[in-house]
Copies of this chain bind each other. A is one copy, B any other.
Amino acid sequence: MEGSTPRTRTRIQQEKREVILEAALEVFSTNGFRGSTIDQIAEAAGMSKPNLLYYFRRKEDIHETLMHRLLDTWLAPLKELDDIGDPMTELRSYIRRKLEMARDFPRESRLFANEILQGAPRIMSMLEGELKTLVDEKVEVIKGWMRAGKVAKADPWHLIFAIWATTQHYADFDVQVRAVLGPDRGGEGRFEDAARFLEQLFVEGLRPKT
């Protein structure tokens, strides 16, 4: 018997919590936090509502756990942007990785987008703290590249925003992208087309002048 905060978790608890989080990711990312019901998540997880509430006491706890997990993987690509290697190659790799995440983890992207859209009430402190610190750090790296003449001089902050925006667009606005491209061009090949275009845009757009 544990106190109010169970530290040890049985095998079943760990497994069921994973099932719930997977179901919640699906539901939250398509309906938003307030638009999702515990019943929906419970049904998607294949269990009854009281049973779900046995593993997560409150709806917010599920969302919070999901968010914290997400942020680690979400910031990983930017963390990998390193000063070693050729600058333009580094930037291209970053763009490619972000686009792959939009392709492979669209639900995570939409969950994040939902949170930001609503004013980021639950992760504001992380944005101003961890994220800002990380961006500031990488901005210095990019500035170094620009001073060294390896990358065209431009605002590094807005460069990062542009990479975020263009890549996440393919996850967050997926329905619109597919609707506009139509059935022919809207297949899985759209990510390769996007990768080619974005590579061209950023490589040419950031090519240092002579």
A residues whose Cβ falls under 8 Å from a Cβ of B: 30-35, 110, 113-114, 116-120, 124, 127-128, 131-132, 135, 152, 154-155, 157-159, 161-162, 164-166, 168-170, 172-173, 175-177, 179-182, 185, 193-194, 196-198, 200-207
User: Which of B124, B128, B165 is within 8 Å of A165, CB to CB?
Assistant: B165
User: Once the chains bind, are A197 and B159 in contact (CB under 8 Å)?
Assistant: yes
A165-B173, A176-B120 as given contacts; A205 in contact with B194, CB under 8 Å: no
A-side interface mostly: helix
Copies in the complex: 2
List the B side residues contacting A120 at CB < 8 Å.
Answer: 175-176, 179
A6 to chain B, nearest CB (A): 32
